[in-house]
Structure 1
Amino acid sequence: MTPAATGESPAATTSGARRHWALAFVAFFLLIFAWSMAAPYDGTPDEREHIVRAAGVAAGQIAPPPAAAKKGTGAFQTVPGGLVREQCWQFKKDVSAACAQPPGSDRTPTRAGTGAGRYFPAYYALVGAPTVLWPGWPGVLLARMISALCCAALLACAFVVIRNRSRRGLMMGALVVVTTPMAVHMASAVNPNGLEIAAGIAFFSAVIPLMIGPPGPRRGLILLVGISGLLLAVLRQTGPLWLATAFVAFAFPLRRSNLVGLLRDRAAQLWAGGIVLSTLAVLAWTVRQQTSDLGNYSAKSLTYGQAALIEADRWRGYLDQIVGVTSWLDTRMPAPPYVIWQLVAGALLLIGVVWGSTLDRWRLLVLLGGGVAVPSAMQIALVNESGFVTQGRYMLPMLVGVLLYAAWAAERRGFEVARARSFTRLAVLVLLPIQLFCLAYTMVRWQNGLPANIGLSSLNPLAGDWHPVVGSVLPLLSATVGLVLFGWLVWTTRTSGTDEPTPRDERPATESTELFRPAGSHLQSAGAQGGLRST
């Protein structure tokens, strides 16, 4: 919404956007940290592995010698003994977390093996200090909180960019869709995958309007693309693949992108250089620390054809995991939440394909290739060395870009405002309750275990022989408030465009202003001089 359309001054518009960022940040943090408070120690995939790595990095053990610490890979770290705990309930969905020894305040230096011991240290340096200073629940919750705060900040930035750049509001619906329960679940844990997913959402929310959007403010977009791009480069080994895929999708053809103009922008040059250097540093680290050695999880010998058929069949499970197969991938919700979420996501993708141009469909194909075909091909090629280790959450940082771009393409090609608003509000009504149900259902699993035959009497998130250290009520209350606030923000978002399709020959942006000003907020005088019009 431009100031000209609202009657507001640019300063008032900027202030309003900052207020919306703060509200979105609170909403996302309350939702994410609800999961952080609800989870037992090592309650999410590999969390203990990452906590041990984080404590080691915080203690100065940045590059431990590669060793066969877990399944033939990883390394050993010396950490406070209160963080070293054995597993007893993971992968046993009928067993609660009551059998596990909680983290304690024991500071005795203890040598512990971790499968994450060879990973790049950036994320662990960010979250590791509390686990060394206050081993036990205080340090674990603080480490989770740091990760949750970072994820909430990135998602709030994505919200503001979409609010200012979405012409018809469909991208706001896409934000609701891509912020899946699994994305929130991982963001709540000590695990770089959660921050990677949040960075992916922020990155694609900003890089799409930056690279192929119409004229408008871009300094803030460059900043958000730079920060989220750096995070994608250093958090996990797949980051360079996501960045390369996005570059191929949006930089070409050159005459239809803003790349040439961005190459002359000093800030864009610096951020691009930083991302390239970070990627090279990660690649060098990967070679030195043998990070690509995933260990031995396979005892089979499969042909490529056999592996391909198995991998294709596994995609049914990947799609459910992307929505939310929580805890240690041992907690599946009943079927309806998966079907509903996937139908909404599929409808959004179909809208993008139908309303988009041939170039839009090409870009969607490139994004799907990077997020689906390449990871599957790598899994097939390495199956006899590492086994089937791929999980749906690993592809989520890339696949969020598919749906965000599908919404962008439909908006730019004439998808009506009324229909976009209806889709977005429908997403709020049907998907946000699933978020709360998924948390409550997972809490039941952690607190009481899931019986073979689940009935309504079994689904009480306030009962069980184990309870979160903060109690069972606070996480549910926090998530409810966060979801209501997020739903209200999305529901009341105003669009900035009309039902007229965007001209296909719009020139790329050359101006440079702030993140918290919407596209077109400074184009009135430019239009008088050279024909540029506000969008």
Structure 2
Amino acid sequence: MSLPLRKAQRPRQANPAQSKPPAPVLRFCMIFLILSMFSTLWSLASPLMSVPDEPAHTIKAAAVARGQFLGTSGQTQGEQLQVVVPKYIADTQSLTCFAFKVIVTADCSPGLDSADRQPTTAGTSAGNYNPLYYLVVGLPSTILSGEPAIYAMRILSGLLCSLFLAATLLATTQFANRRWPVAAAGIAVTPMVLYLCGSINPNALEIVTTSAVFVNLCLVLENVRELSRFRFNIVVVGVAAAVLANTRALSLLWLALAVIAALLMFPPRDLLLLVKNKLVLAMATLIAVAAALGLLWLKTANTLASLLGTPGTVTPEQAFGTMVERTFDIAASYVAQLGWLDTNGPTGVYFWWSCLTGALMVAAVSVRPWRPRLGFIVLLAAAIAIPPILQAQVVTELGYIWQGRYLLPVIVPMLLAAGLALRFLRFPDSLFARRITMWAIGLTAAAHTAVFANALRRYGVGISTEANWADMFGATKWEPPLGWLPLALAYLAVTAVAGVLLYRQLSPGQAPAGEPINDGSSLS
């Protein structure tokens, strides 16, 4: 009896698709690259110390990078803590000659001397803030000196924020019904968000981490039966929440709101599946430890005692009513209120974002299933109630100190929640609807660029009562690094690329490169 002959085995050839990185990895890298370019361009276009409280945060970052987590001071409310930093860092307090004066250009700033590195005592109102953000952002000041060090600190802050914002935007593309969440993300990332990302200010970090926690937690809850495919998103929730809990005094409140809003959007029975997952339990433990450390810092460092202000003469009840009336007034800060609250964007930008956000919010509260819209309703209620409540508590001691940008950690997730509430509705895909989408994206890109160009005009020639755009081409008194025109053209190019990629995500029948339509797979 003869043995059966075996067929010759062909050598297995590698599948080209298997040798490429997964599509979500490529998408994350692309999103991160674009956001990093946005934040870097803002870092270069904004004069040093032109962002609210940037001198205080710069001094704090340089001090923390040198091991001074707390400074020295008395016990008086609002008293600045004293730290020891290089003289060029201490001198940043003298660079704000243009603050509150829109007709004063940035050339009034005396600049910084890179050779002034001798230890100098400086005061900072952020002296007893949580050191986590500052520990990272202050690193360039230990290597570089003078203005290059400050720009490097800004750029590093932008890269850090871009990581979490990229994780947020990536998550919106991973929902099985992604088009409404993606559209909401395009509205939620306002020029103000990108502007703050390009500065030395932890306000930006709490915005992007709160958003990352909310959207990625929603994605995980929607896919509780396939958690192995969403390990990256589980890790994002844990890391973003841990960082958020140790960012600013109100960050724990933003964290609680993000988690509550996400949980309300999904059936409670889904939570039972989460507690059986080891990675989820590990991230929950990380969040609990980080929150405990954040609370411990608030208590031991007495962070709230550093708030600056002038005692007011109105009662808390009057302050509460006033802030309720200002609800829509402070909304300008959600879109574009740059500088020391002295540089508004073009009026058309506010009109355009009012149209976008108004339509999105009305649609979100109109969906028939009640549970998907609960998260949006909670965040909307918080956005209305928190400014009056918090302002009323401190008005007699500090006066009116609330700024609209403080609420962006609620506003951005609120708009994202609106998109998530709509995700089960059919996204219009007629030819007419596609044309509307193209125009909407184009106008949004133009609005972003207009805010950027207007900021360059404000610091280059000043904003007077008469139009003076022509002066930008021959009479600029201040120029940013690389020049205002190359920066403006670069920003226009980046917004164009971002607009094309956004349109691809919203186009019917088109999926991201290398990925099937409605694929919910994630990094793993």
* Alignment counterpart, residue 399 of structure 1, candidates 411, 418, 426: 411
Task: State the AA in 2 paired with 1:82.
Answer: Y
SS in 1 for 2:245: helix
1:77-476 matches, cutoff 5 A = 77-83=83-89, 84-85=91-92, 86=94, 87-105=96-114, 106-165=116-175, 167-213=177-223, 215-216=225-226, 217-252=229-264, 255-256=267-268, 258-416=270-428, 425-457=438-470, 460=472, 463-476=475-488
Q: In structure 2, what is the equivalent of residue 36 of structure 1?
A: 43
Once the two structures are TM-superposed, the CA of residue 204 in structure 1 deviates from its matched residue by 2.5
Task: State the AA in 2 paired with 1:479.
Answer: Y
Partners of 2:441 and 2:40 in 1: CA distance: 20
**Does the 8 Å contact 2:176/2:519 carry over to 1?**
no
Residue 490 (structure 2) pairs with residue 478 (structure 1): yes
**Does the 8 Å contact 2:334/2:411 carry over to 1?**
no
Partners of 1:20 and 1:449 in 2: CA distance: 40
Aligned residues: 497
Partners of 2:118 and 2:494 in 1: CA distance: 39
Gapped runs of 5+ residues in structure 1?
1-7, 499-515, 524-535
Partners of 1:296 and 1:150 in 2: CA distance: 27
Q: In structure 1, what is the equivalent of residue 11 of structure 2?
A: none
CA shift in 2, pair 1:463/1:277, >3 Å: farther
Task: State the AA in 1 paired with 2:132.
Answer: A
1:45-60 matches, cutoff 5 A = 45-60=52-67
Task: State the AA in 2 paired with 1:477.
Answer: L
Partners of 1:279 and 1:241 in 2: CA distance: 11
Partners of 1:332 and 1:254 in 2: CA distance: 39
Task: State the AA in 2 paired with 1:100.
Answer: S
SS in 1 for 2:464: coil
| Structure 1 residues 217-257: Cα deviation after superposition (integer angstroms, max 9, x where no partner) | 32121011112212221111221111211222232487446
Percent of aligned pairs with the same residue?
Answer: 27
Q: In structure 2, what is the equivalent of residue 532 of structure 1?
A: none
CA shift in 2, pair 1:259/1:371, >3 Å: farther
Task: State the AA in 2 paired with 1:220.
Answer: F
**Does the 8 Å contact 2:265/2:374 carry over to 1?**
no
Q: In structure 2, what is the equivalent of residue 23 of structure 1?
A: 30
Partners of 1:74 and 1:420 in 2: CA distance: 55
Gapped runs of 5+ residues in structure 2?
1-14
SS in 1 for 2:97: coil
**Does the 8 Å contact 2:230/2:521 carry over to 1?**
no
| Structure 1 residues 412-449: Cα deviation after superposition (integer angstroms, max 9, x where no partner) | 24454559866754442221111111111011111222
CA shift in 2, pair 1:166/1:379, >3 Å: farther
CA shift in 2, pair 1:244/1:519, >3 Å: farther
Task: State the AA in 2 paired with 1:448.
Answer: V
Once the two structures are TM-superposed, the CA of residue 493 in structure 1 deviates from its matched residue by 1.7
Once the two structures are TM-superposed, the CA of residue 451 in structure 1 deviates from its matched residue by 1.2
The worse-fitting range, judged by mean Cα deviation, of 395-404 and 248-257 is: 248-257
SS in 1 for 2:82: strand
Query: Rg: which structure is higher?
Result: 2
Partners of 1:519 and 1:219 in 2: CA distance: 18
Using structure 1 for the length normalisation, give the TM-score: 0.86
Partners of 2:24 and 2:17 in 1: CA distance: 10
Q: In structure 1, what is the equivalent of residue 8 of structure 2?
A: none
CA shift in 2, pair 1:220/1:296, >3 Å: closer
Partners of 1:356 and 1:128 in 2: CA distance: 49
| Structure 1 residues 241-274: Cα deviation after superposition (integer angstroms, max 9, x where no partner) | 1121122223248744632211221111121221
| Structure 1 residues 57-102: Cα deviation after superposition (integer angstroms, max 9, x where no partner) | 0111112234479x83331111111122313111111101111121
Partners of 1:95 and 1:45 in 2: CA distance: 16
**Does the 8 Å contact 1:307/1:383 carry over to 2?**
yes
Task: State the AA in 2 paired with 1:99.
Answer: C
| Structure 1 residues 456-512: Cα deviation after superposition (integer angstroms, max 9, x where no partner) | 435x377521111332233223312221221111111267999xxxxxxxxxxxxxx
**Does the 8 Å contact 1:25/1:153 carry over to 2?**
yes
Task: State the AA in 2 paired with 1:62.
Answer: F
Partners of 2:83 and 2:320 in 1: CA distance: 37
- Structure number with higher relative contact order (C-alpha < 8 Å, ≥ 6 residues apart): 1
CA shift in 2, pair 1:297/1:253, >3 Å: closer
Q: In structure 1, what is the equivalent of residue 12 of structure 2?
A: none
SS in 2 for 1:73: coil
Task: State the AA in 1 paired with 2:72.
Answer: P
Q: In structure 2, what is the equivalent of residue 75 of structure 1?
A: 81
Once the two structures are TM-superposed, the CA of residue 180 in structure 1 deviates from its matched residue by 0.6
CA shift in 2, pair 1:100/1:439, >3 Å: same
Partners of 1:328 and 1:496 in 2: CA distance: 43
**Does the 8 Å contact 2:179/2:427 carry over to 1?**
no
**Does the 8 Å contact 2:334/2:408 carry over to 1?**
yes
| Structure 1 residues 260-303: Cα deviation after superposition (integer angstroms, max 9, x where no partner) | 21122111112122112112211111121111124452342212
Using structure 2 for the length normalisation, give the TM-score: 0.87
Partners of 2:219 and 2:210 in 1: CA distance: 15
**Does the 8 Å contact 2:78/2:307 carry over to 1?**
yes
SS in 2 for 1:411: coil
Once the two structures are TM-superposed, the CA of residue 158 in structure 1 deviates from its matched residue by 2.3
SS in 1 for 2:80: strand
Partners of 1:38 and 1:461 in 2: CA distance: 16
Partners of 1:43 and 1:366 in 2: CA distance: 34
**Does the 8 Å contact 1:165/1:209 carry over to 2?**
yes
Once the two structures are TM-superposed, the CA of residue 30 in structure 1 deviates from its matched residue by 1.3
Partners of 2:84 and 2:320 in 1: CA distance: 41
Q: CA RMSD in A?
A: 2.8
**Does the 8 Å contact 1:31/1:480 carry over to 2?**
no
* Alignment counterpart, residue 63 of structure 1, candidates 53, 70, 75: 70
Partners of 2:305 and 2:110 in 1: CA distance: 31
